């Protein structure tokens, strides 16, 4: 029996960096992502993490196939800026579909998807 977070999976995090999120809550959101990352068994053959940030625009901050250790991923999360623009989750979903959940974005067909 596998334990959630301790099996081969692709975890995608989508962070709302818009103005509708208070700066204090944006910090809490990033801490939550880092806490989850700390729990995961991350590695080239284990769990991979992807990250998208959105506000007026959306950007792929971390594809699934770039970082394979929790400390590096947490440092990348720390660098995500709170842009305070409009809330354009539609753009985040487009980035997820066109950039992250693709073979170029590191998505694996034999891994569970968590988002």
Q: Which residues lie closer than 8 Å to 101 by C-beta, 6 or more apart?
A: 12, 107, 113
Q: Give pLDDT tens digits for 62-77.
A: 999 999 999 999 999 9
Q: Give pLDDT tens digits for 5-50.
A: 567 999 999 999 999 999 999 999 999 999 999 999 999 999 999 9
**23, burial (CB in 10 Å: exposed 0-12, middle 13-18, buried 19+):** exposed
- Give the global pTM: 0.92
The pLDDT value recorded for residue 33 is 98
pLDDT higher than threshold 80 for residue 93: yes
Helical residues (DSSP H) of 40-114, grouped into ranges: 70-78, 89-95
Q: What is the dihedral of CA 88, 89, 90, 94, to 10 degrees?
A: 120
Name residue, tokens 């596998």: 2
pLDDT higher than threshold 80 for residue 4: no
């Amino acid at each position: 029996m596998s334990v959630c977070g301790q099996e081969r999976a692709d975890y995608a995090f989508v962070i709302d960096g818009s103005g509708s999120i208070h700066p204090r809550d944006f910090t809490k959101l990033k801490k939550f992502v880092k806490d989850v990352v700390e729990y995961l068994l991350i590695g080239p053959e284990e769990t991979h993490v992807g990250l998208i940030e959105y506000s007026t625009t959306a950007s792929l901050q971390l594809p699934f196939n770039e970082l394979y250790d929790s400390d590096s991923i947490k440092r990348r999360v720390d660098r995500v800026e709170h842009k305070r623009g409009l809330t354009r989750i539609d753009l985040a979903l487009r980035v997820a579909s066109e950039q992250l959940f693709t073979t170029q974005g590191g998505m694996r067909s034999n891994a569970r998807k968590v988002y």
